[in-house]
Amino acid sequence: MFTLTDDERAISDTARDFAAEHLAPHAVEWDQTKHFPVDVLRKAASLGMGGIYIREDVGGSELTRVDAARIFEQLAKGCPSIAAYISIHNMVTWMIDRFGDDEQRHAWVPGLCSMDQLGSYCLTEPGAGSDAAALSTK
């Protein structure tokens, strides 16, 4: 039987409570008006969600990918769009933390972890455009 530790449960509960208070009441309106709630993202960052699996020496929470999956699951219950964005933001931040040199890590990652800076990426491929599901290696 799989059970969460007290720490794992606290992480999940924190994300659940954040989503219920800050995301769910606004999710439909944000999607309809195409609003990007930077203030709410920074609140999420203050709880460690701006650098979930990023090393602590540059401001990350240094949690596991499984912790991140539980966080994203709880956030998605409140607003799937914001959960997806925070997931992408963490991916971008991790790439710099993992593959950047120390100068790059210290220049970029702290601001990304606090969400004073926001990460994103672009995707376009011949025959698929920006539809990641349509990509082919043949």
The lowest-confidence range among 28-37, 66-75, 116-125 is 116-125
Spatial distance between the Cα atoms of 82 and 15, rounded to a whole number of angstroms: 12
DSSP-derived secondary structure letter, 19: I
pLDDT score, position 13: 98
For residue 93, what pLDDT is reported? 98
Give yes or no for a contact between 113 and 70, defined as CB atoms under 8 angstroms apart: no
pLDDT computed for residue 49 by the predictor = 98
List, in order of start, the domains of the chain with CATH numbers. Answer: 6-134 (1.10.540.10)
